[in-house]
Amino acid sequence: MIRVEAIVLAAGEGRRMGRSKPLLPWNGRTLIEHIVSELQVAKVQAIHVVTGHRADEVAVVLQGTPAVCVANPDYHDGMLSSVRAGLRAIADDADAVLVCLCDQPHIPPVLVNQLVDAFAAGAGEILVPVVAGRRGHPLLFSIRYRAEILACYDDTGLRGLLQAHPDAVCEVVVDDPGILVDLDTPEDYARATRGGAE
């Protein structure tokens, strides 16, 4: 069985949202708790939540979950700094890394499992979910790219990894538009919570 470890990026300030996105209410708990609970029942063996802004509060709500908080003191430097902080925490015997965003609540375990199963079947070393021809998140990639990501792509982020290795990229077609939905603004959150999420 392959070992997949998840990194959840939850360090940002949520400036466009105007409040901390991991701590947003979601189905009677916080958004970060929801994300972690979904990953708990997916085919991942460890969950690393990268924290920065309001890190102590995020750590408190995750007490009692299997998630391990990884502090990113450089979170002001952007998302890649959080990816790198998470990668440093990944076990050396991991086979692949799943990078998730803390503001994408509509990523069910079955979708994560599609990516994991495709990787296990040898479909590619960098897996991207695609719906209606559009790429989304989460991204899953082989642990062999860890050193490269730690050293490269300062200007492009993980997009640079895909651009550098197009032959290794496999688009996994899914039927869930949730891969394209993230909560950047209060309007995004209001739309998402109309279904009773808050």
- In the structure encoding, which two tokens stand for residue 18, read together? 């105007």
Return the closest-CA partner of residue 96 out of 159, 140, 147, 157: 140
- Give residue-wise pLDDT tens across range 45-96: 999 999 999 999 999 999 999 999 999 999 999 999 999 999 999 999 999 9
**Domains of the chain by range and CATH?**
4-191 (3.90.550.10)
- Judge if pTM exceeds 0.85: yes
* Phi, psi for residue 15 in degrees, rounded to 5: -60, -45
Enter the tokens of residue 72: 């990113």
What is the Rg, in whole angstroms, of the alpha carbon atoms belonging to the chain? 16
Q: Are 162 and 128 in contact (CB under 8 A)?
A: yes
Tokens of 8: 């959840």
pLDDT in tens, 109-125: 999 999 999 999 999 99
Between residues 119 and 15, the one the model is more confident about: 119
